[in-house]
Amino acid sequence: MTWEDLERAAQNCTRCALYETRTKLVFGVGVRDADVMFVGEGPGENEDLQGEPFVGRGGQLLDTMLTLIDLDRRRNVYIANIVKCRPPKNRDPLGTEQEACIGWLRAQMDLIKPKIVVCLGRIAATVLIKPDFKITREHGQFFDINGVQYMALYHPAALLRDPRKKPETFDDLKALQAKIRELCPGTYTR
């Protein structure tokens, strides 16, 4: 399946009830052959209106975090979510919604073939790394899953709620930068 076929099919998705309340489906943003992929849990209000992930205050913080380690959503990474339609009132996506939607993300990953996947927040980490992932203890650690390096950062919204987590996240970003230099230095020459 080509990227265009995949996106067209996703845009018409009715696999779970979230299609009924979405304004825009949020497929993802970035370069389609990126070696580094970021995955959040789902769109919020601004994302639902604009059809792009991480565009509100949390998105601005994410962009700042990316800039700190010379990453940019338009240049050298791809950003998507576990679910592509906004859960009402920004609640966590239900397990059934995650299960219904994960196939789209897996198909994107099959096409992108990232070497490093960064989970943004606990929910993405429990889906992609392991069900009992503990974000407070295991953020910043790398997990090898079928030859792909996975790690998790605190979700930008959590950093906005509790800025005391920022120094730890800065250390995690530095570790991520070192891993990118080791495994996919081409990320920094785009």
State which of residues 39, 71, 100, 127 lies at the interface with ligand SF4 (CB under 6 A): 100
- Tell me, what DSSP letter sits at residue 25? -
If one asks whether residue 124 binds ligand SF4 (CB under 6 A), the answer comes out as: no
Encoded one letter per residue, x for contact with ligand SF4 by CB under 6 A and - for no contact, window 60-89 reads: -----------------------xxx----
If one asks whether residue 105 binds ligand SF4 (CB under 6 A), the answer comes out as: no
Phi-psi group of 90: left, alpha or beta (phi > 0 → left; psi -120 to 50 → alpha; rest → beta): left
- What residues between 20 and 49 interact with ligand SF4 by CB under 6 A? 25
Q: How far is the CB of 89 from ligand SF4 (least distance, A)?
A: 15
SS3 call for 184 = coil
SS3 call for 166 = helix
- What one-character-per-residue DSSP string does 63-129 give? HHHHHHTT--TTTT-EEEESSSSPPGGGPPPPHHHHHHHHHHHHHHHHHH--SEEEEESHHHHHHHT
If one asks whether residue 165 binds ligand SF4 (CB under 6 A), the answer comes out as: no
The token pair that represents 116 in the structure block: 């490093």
Contact region with ligand SF4 (CB under 6 A), list: 68-76, 95-103, 107-115, 119-127: 95-103
Q: How far is the CB of 116 from ligand SF4 (least distance, A)?
A: 24
Nearer Cβ to ligand SF4, position 76 or 81?
81
User: Residue 38 forms beta bridges with which residues?
Assistant: 79, 118
Nearer Cβ to ligand SF4, position 80 or 173?
80
If one asks whether residue 15 binds ligand SF4 (CB under 6 A), the answer comes out as: yes
The token pair that represents 38 in the structure block: 């970021």
Q: Which residues bind ligand SF4 (CB under 6 A)?
A: 10, 13-16, 18-19, 25, 83-85, 97, 100-101, 104
